[in-house]
Structure 1
Amino acid sequence: MALSLAFLVLLPGCAATGDAPRLAADAPPSVAQGKSPLGTGYLGGGALPGGLDLIPPPPAEASAALARDKEGAAAGVAMRGTPRWDLATADADLRPGRAAAAFSCTAGFLIDRDHAPALDRLLGRAMADLGMATGEVKKRYMRPRPFMENGQPSCTPTWEPALRRDGSYPSGHSSIGYGTALILAEIMPDRAAALIARGRAFGDSRRVCNVHWLSDIEEGRVVATATVMRLNADPAFAADLAAARAEVAKLRARPAADMPDCATEAQALGH
């Protein structure tokens, strides 16, 4: 059975100090089996948008869409060893707080539990829903990943055994990244364009990493959009969103502290 998103959690033996994650001997719960390795979200399984109603099947053999996917994968493989590859490797890490922190440079302040606890809580819980929302489609199609087809390495080689048993379509990372960007854009509408662009880049990091096809990433954005719309109808999400909005207003009123290396990120993204 698929290990959808199983590689996203902080696994045993992996310290939260930037060490390369290691695959656990016992696989974490599977999103495709309806079990979240990402913690508790706002929505129950029945409240998640129906992915099979949202997106079409993956591209068919010998189709123009599949040819486009393969061209995109080849272009990603060519980025190995570049700053964009390094950023894609960092974007792969969805341990608690890491996905939200990836948006710090774009937001203009550090997003983590210490500096922005309300926002970190909001995005952490929403991430569980955004990831789980891809499970139904992953389970249906169990699409092989690019590195399985082209024989080239991924940016997280120790995760490849789990990824080989995981459906590629649609991308859970893309859903999480794009959904996070949409939520942040609600809080900071003046930065919406930059935040959405970073969310798109976060998903596209999976193509650069040689673990997702373009169509996986694009359809992950569709799942994210539907999930965020559903989240906005949830009272608990709405309350946490209001708290995060008030927190962010205070954060933006004072100089940012402890920021990551934003110049390197900008270079990697071609800014």
Structure 2
Amino acid sequence: MKAIFLSFAVLALPAIPTLAQAQAVAPVATAPKPPTQFQYLNPADFEPARLLPAPPAKGSPAEKLELETLRALIASASTARLEQAKWDAAHEDSAIFSTTIGRDITKLPATWELLEIVHSEANIAAGLSKVYFGRTRPWGLDPALHDCEGKPNANPLRGYPSGHATLSYSVGYVLAQLLPGQASAILAKADDYARSREYCASHFASDTAASHVVGTLAAVRLLADPRLADRVAAARAELAAH
């Protein structure tokens, strides 16, 4: 189903960092609670019914096919890939790209500030569609599936799109524009991080595909916003200097 969304974002295929390399990145200190309303994005651009097609209806043949495909994906996964998915689930911030770009993003203040804005705004955009569509997560449909995070009180009706995947696609797109020479590796990392949500049984492929749309649109809009021009320039200069 991801083919529906290919016109919205660039796909890349290089090899991704190993789990051991990713785990070498130091965790980020807990950030202040993010805002719940857009500070920069226009809500009209992210009206769910205008932005995304409805996901497969609950109990429909399309949903059953997605569930079967997801079960097969998880069953065929190596232990290492499942462990990576678990690690990815626990690390939902822009630092996931540190190993990919070869720099600790948490120690680049101008870059981190910009990416935090992107993450926050894109997360709000994804949340609008999560509430609007109210899609049941895979583990909410099949008790035999278990999510990586082990949150017994997690909301099973926030499956479409994925918040983690929206992070990877929005922040990944911005970093790819700031570091064009590393764009392929960055976009590949974004896609692989999004796929972890499927290995975790937290989302279907159509959920992460929807995140590709939301995240990329958010990133494009934010990079073009004149109110962020100075921050974008500062981040680009900082990355060029390190």
Q: TM-score, normalised by structure 2?
A: 0.78
1:195 maps to: 186
Offset, 1:86? 1.8
1:248 positional shift: 0.4
Return closer, same or farther for 1:71/1:238 CA change in 2, 3 Å cut-off.
farther
Measured after TM superposition, the shift of residue 106 of structure 1 is 1.1
Number of equivalent positions:
211
Contact 2:173 2:219 in 1 (8 A): yes
Q: What is the CA distance between 1:236 and its match in structure 2?
A: 2.9
Structure 2, unmatched stretches of 5+, are 1-25
* Alignment match, 1:125: 117
Partner of 1:265: none
2:142: which partner in 1? 150
TM (norm. structure 1) is 0.70
Counterpart position of 1:233: 224
Q: Which residue identity is paired with 1:38? A: P
Q: Which segment is superposed worse, 238-247 or 40-49?
A: 40-49
Structure 2 CA distance for partners of 1:37 and 1:69, relative to 1, 3 Å: farther
2: CA distance between counterparts of 1:168 and 1:214? Answer: 11
Contact 1:49–1:230 (CA<8 Å) still a contact in 2? Answer: no
Q: CA deviation at 1:59?
A: 1.2
Query: Within the alignment, does 1:38 sit opposite 2:34 as a pair?
Result: yes
Render the CA deviation track for 1:139-190: whole Å, top value 9, x for unaligned.
1221111111121211111x241233x4211112111111111000001111
Q: Relative to total residues, which structure has the larger helix share, 1 or 2? A: 2
Aligned residue identity for 1:43: Y
2:79 matches 1:85: no
Q: Is the 8 A contact 2:45 2:51 kept in 1?
A: no
d(CA) in 2 for partners of 1:190, 1:44: 28
Query: Equivalent residue for 1:268?
Result: none
Give, as a single letter, the amino acid of the residue that structure 1 aligns with 2:237: A
1:222 maps to a residue whose letter is V
Q: Quick one: distance in 1 between partners of 2:241 and 2:39?
A: 25
Contact kept in structure 2, 1:93 and 1:99, CA below 8 Å: no
Percent identity over the alignment? 32
Matched, 1:49 2:46: yes
Shift of 1:44: 5.2
Distance change (3 Å), C-alpha of 1:104 and 1:68: farther
